[in-house]
Amino acid sequence: MTETYVYFIVALLPLSALMLVLQVNPLHALVIRGLLGAIAALVDAVLGAADVALTEALVGTMLSVTLYAIAVRSSLVLRFGVLTDNKDDGELFHLLRNICRQYHLRFKLISYPDQESLEAALRNKEIQAFAHEQDTNYHTITRVKRLYEILETELSPSITSLTYQNLTNSVEKH
Amino acid sequence: MNGILIAMIITLLIPLYTGFYHDEIWEKMLAFATISCKTAMMILVISVLRDDWMIGVVAIIVLSVGNAGLMLLAHLIKRLDEEKI
């Protein structure tokens, strides 16, 4: 192997791997993973391993990226329950959207007709948190401990009061 | 002929740079599209240089599969963007 260009091509692989490691957003990292797969296929083909290059292109670029895209899409989401009559974009929802963007989550508002169905949805794990109006203020209840910690630091008490509801006891009863 | 390949490697660095420094997801997808095409073309050039048609066939498959994977991923990301609104 005397060709000089081989060294340049092989040097691209750690470069793109470093780019992948430095990504923080999971979706962006997925796209860079596809890019890494393309460069790995190039390196394999240049070094004479055509079969490995073919496998890398099939699995690395197409299959794993597509499967992980579906996994990211179905997991990194905050489903937030709200009553149908106060679905308009208030300050709370604007703030929540900003917090979700900061943590690379998607924010999805799901409206319910009354208070009972909101609580039932939280118990059945359809939503992670919900907010309802109490006097002039909002009251937010969440069943995820980590979400409670994030919201506690980011949201001021003047906008909403916050409660953590532990559902593990009720789950054990089932 | 080595000069041509080294020029191709340098052009490959441009989308790598844009893919890393732009925060928009579609910019990254564009970088991915150009890089998957460029790497496949480089494999094709190398296969012609070495007169090795096994690598040439792999290059064609990499070219088509790379584009197919890109389209699948683009559709998934597009659906994600629509859900946000």
Chain B stretch 32-71, residues whose beta carbon is closer than 8 A to a beta carbon of chain A: 32, 35-36, 39-40, 42-43, 46-47, 54-55, 57-59, 61-62, 65-66, 68-70
B4 Cβ under 8 Å from any chain A Cβ: no
Residue A136 in tokens: 């002039």
For B74, counting Cβ atoms within 10 Å of its Cβ (0-12 exposed, 13-18 middle, 19+ buried), the class is: middle
What ipTM was assigned to the predicted interfaces of this complex? 0.91
**Same-domain pairing of A50 and A94:** no
**Same-domain pairing of A122 and A52:** no
- Band of pLDDT at residue A84, cut at 50, 70 and 90: confident
Number of domains in chain A: 2
**Same-domain pairing of A125 and A159:** yes
pLDDT digits over B37-54, tens only? 999 999 999 999 889 899
pLDDT digits over B5-38, tens only? 889 899 999 988 888 888 888 888 999 999 999 9
**Same-domain pairing of A82 and A69:** no
Residues of B in contact with A32 (CB under 8 A): 19-20, 28, 32
**Same-domain pairing of A39 and A118:** no
Supply the range of the domain harboring residue A88: 76-173
CATH of the domain at A150: 3.40.190
**Same-domain pairing of A87 and A167:** yes
**Same-domain pairing of A109 and A156:** yes
**Same-domain pairing of A43 and A92:** no
Average pLDDT over residues A127-155: 82
Q: Are B64 and B42 in contact (CB under 8 A)?
A: no
Q: Rounded to whole angstroms, how far apart are CA atoms A47 and A25?
A: 32
Mean pLDDT for chain A overall = 83
A144 Cβ under 8 Å from any chain B Cβ: no
Q: Which residue has the higher pLDDT, B75 or B1?
A: B75
A50 Cβ under 8 Å from any chain B Cβ: yes
**Same-domain pairing of A127 and A52:** no
* End residue of a domain, out of A28, A45, A74: A74
DSSP state for residue B1 in the 8-state scheme: -
Q: How far away is chain A from the Cα of B39, in angstroms, using its nearest Cα?
A: 6
Q: How is A123-157 classified by DSSP, letter by letter?
A: HTTS-SEEEEEETTEEEEEES-HHHHHHHHHHS-T
